[in-house]
A and B are shown apart, each in its own frame.
Chain A
Amino acid sequence: MQNPWIYIGLFLLIGMLIPVAPLAIAAFIAPKKPNPIKQSTYECGMETVGDSWVQFKAQYYVFALVFLVFDVETVFLFPWAVSLNALPVFVLVEGIIFILILLAGLFYTWRKGMLEWA
């Protein structure tokens, strides 16, 4: 097989289709008796006031931010890791510096108190 992505593509397609099948079957055979109470949003006790799309804690955003930076870092580190074996020691030092620079960012965030949940 020349391009493994053809296989992956087919796999993706089928892998997404197979879960759909039982849902489709269910859509045909499952009963449908809607009523307002059943359709209402699940809530514990009280009626829901307003819709659920309320503003959220900014802290989630900070973690996403740190994650974003480290996630992009990994995109750089995987090629580095793959070619580490074939290249001189200099490359090792290079990668270590790369990691240390990013850890510096993490420690900055830490020191600024941004990793606290409060």
Chain B
Amino acid sequence: MATETIVWLLPLPPLLAFFLIVLFTNKSKALSHSIGVGAALLSFVGSMVVFFRALSVEHFGEGEHIFASSIPWLPTGDTFLRVGVQIDPLSAVVLFFVAWTILMIFLYSVGYHNFGQPKGDHDHPGLPPHGATVTDAHGHKHTVLSVEPMYSRFFAFLGLFAAGMYTLVISDNLLTLFVGWEIMGLCSYLLIGFWYAKPSARNAAIKAFMTTRVGDVFMLLGLAYLYSATGTLSYREIFYNQEVLHHLAETSSHVFGLSAAGLIALLLFIGTIGKSAQWPLHIWLPDAMEGPTPVSAMIHAATMVSAGVYMVIRIFPLLTADWHGHDLTTAMSVVAFIGTFTAIFAATIAVAQNDIKKVLAYSTISQLGFMISALGMGAYIAAAFHLVTHAFFKALLFLGSGSVIHGMEHGVLHTGNHHVDPQDMWNMGGLRKKMPITFWTFLIGGFALSGFPLVTAGFWSKDEILADAFAHGHWAILITLSTAALLTAFYTMRQITLTFLGEPRTKEAEHAHETPWTMTLPLAVLAVFALGYGWVGIPEHFPGLGGLLPNWFHHFVGATLLEHPEAVEFSPIPLGISLLVALGGLTLGWLVYKDVKAGQPDPLQKPLGVLYPFLQNKWYFDEFYAFFVIKPMTWISEEFSYKWMDRQLIDGILHTVAQTALWIGSSLRNYFDKPIINELLGDKLGAYWTFQPAGRALSKAQTGRVQSYLIGAVAVFLLVAAALYLFIF
């Protein structure tokens, strides 16, 4: 099959799986997950074929050396809006990790939702399963995990989600990218609110949907502006066309002195702020952890949020349209600032979180900030590289945390003490012996996140960002990001220590249990990538290793841009910083938390003082929004719009109009119709003298016989025709 055909077909299997499951197979759990996993596998195989065919193409990405095909779709006046697919090096690497992670999610979900376990005792749709009582061969009763009641629905949603992600990755224009983007927005809403009977899940779903919508509105504005300015939304016609880019950079937008290119880039970037949970629209992501624990969290951490970064990487030529490699443009500065600030801001919050998933959520925000910051600095390759590595190790971490929670739930069911939160790290400890596979893979993921030198993927990608910041002399960014990296290593080690090391702090942790193979297999697979993927992007001049493996990633993805980016000069200083913060943070984390006992407060609480609750409460951002945004909005809609404007002003006008009409009607009736028409004309004058006799006389002509009428009609017709003939022609 032609590669283009395969690319077209990639989103199809999951989409079909969605419809199949929703329409036909939702009664059968086994059939549903077989269809779901099968569809993911089909798309995965297709993606791998596309990816490896792309590898075999010489000069892939340069000029016409890409896989692309498009068809005319919407006629817009005299042009056609074309839709199509394209795979260039960037989308190829993104496709690679998307395919892997999506397949892993599907597989993992089978185990996570307890397939094969009995039906729960009190489970009902919309709530997480509560466990089932079974009687074993000896007559003993056990409480075990029970299967998710809406198992099939979950796979349907996952399928739709995967279809959206594939659409986004393969599209060759911003419009279909937006379509995939919105499909994922919907799926994210559906999956966060999957347990819709939980109020917190409902609220989180609405919050995520509304918050990302704020970003999407601006993104749509950006799309509209771009379309009106260029007449197209295709990547190749905008981002690979120097003339268009130049023209956009030269045109002023009359807003804040930005060029058109800058304004469009910023508007689109606001979409990314929403999707990738950057400050100030980051608030939805931590709440999104209300979804089915690891899987939807993983979607929101590893896959969907990557879409935002992917989009910024896509529009990178637009963002840097009038940039000449030295001082950052306004738009770039804004992007760099937001990214950098988010990175440090989220890292500080993560330090004080106790929920195992919340820590990861904030760490995700922080790492996305790294990428955005890199893009703001113009470090294109570094951002793309970190995107890919991060996707792998963050997926690994989330799945690992899900595994931990799953193991803890097992323990909770065993003891029957439902007050113990299976997600609170303070309830854990010593799990490394109970869940060895989860421990080792989690450790790999955590080290990758921290940037443990040389062996992990995270080290190479993060190092590259720092090196870029150093090479271009962005000192403020360098310092901030280094601090953030230090904090990252610290809270990662804090998490690992609290969860796996030391002794169990609760009975539940003692009875935790390793999870089934469907969950551990994805962990192992992802761990391989978390370790190995960094090796494809080692800088060429890195001591020793650099010569061993040429910087494949740089050359491959660099071909995506019109002007291939230069690799930065190798310097030992950022390397040193990297080493220092990673190892330092890890050591610090271990030292502080290595012998925390049950019931003991966080050792950081004392030294940090008031800062600790500040961090734990996420800088009070939710409260800030509640007071400054939500409350005024509620007031305006309630008091102003509804009570005053709608009820009093508009209704008042309408009522007045209605009253006036009624009044006019009744006066006409009483003072004109009744006395003059009815009495005077009708009864007094009409009855005797005119209408009745005339009617009586004329009614004779009405024989009621159709032929008499016809004769009349023909006669009149002839007369009229004769008259017309005589007088007109």
Given a CB threshold of 8 Å, the question of whether A touches B is answered with no
